[in-house]
Structure 1
Amino acid sequence: MAEITFETTEINEPVQGFYGNPDGYYAVSTNGRIINIVRSASIQPEIRNHEDYVTYLWVEAQEGFFVFSQRVLNQRCEEWMVRRRITPSDKAEFFASHKDELIRSLTSEVTS
């Protein structure tokens, strides 16, 4: 099987809210970007400081793949952010296959 390549685009937009309707769930950024969620997985790197850490949401959407993040500071959740969009060369199985690599990448960001 050929290695899947991908391109990453930084977004860094606050999420206005997460919503649902009979057709499914979606997120809307403060810039008006609509992300129609197909499936998602929570990613939690090791928490070294329980007073200040970040949690992540790995999202497959109709519009592509996205990384969301939320900082927890002094036991208060800050706003969700759409951090980046990831565009793979082959979408088949990318959600599951890229999750482990994403966890390693996010963990290294937290520790650096």
Structure 2
Amino acid sequence: MSAGEVVSFLIFFIGLYGLIAKKNIVKSIISLEVMETAVILYFISCGFKAGALPPIGDVSPHLMADPLPQALMITAIVIGVSSTAIALTMYIHLYRKYGTENWEEAMKKRVK
């Protein structure tokens, strides 16, 4: 297991702790982003090959870096930014409607 994979597991569980322990909506959104970053780091570090060359030009296939994990992670970054924008938009609407940043208080006000 490489150092990048170990660090990605550590970062993922830090984000998971933040998601479970915090009742603040903004901190929950940030924790989800931390977890997403850890997953991206994991897949990039799994696809890393020391001494690999970019797949541009006349490169031998056994020396070439696999571009698929990198392309998928760029897509994951774009989707992550979009989902964060949607989550923050929903948070703004919820805050304007209920006047709280706490999950539990918003649920109590919603039931009333």
TM-score, normalising length from structure 2?
0.28
TM-score, normalising length from structure 1?
0.28
Report the structure number with the largest CA radius of gyration.
2
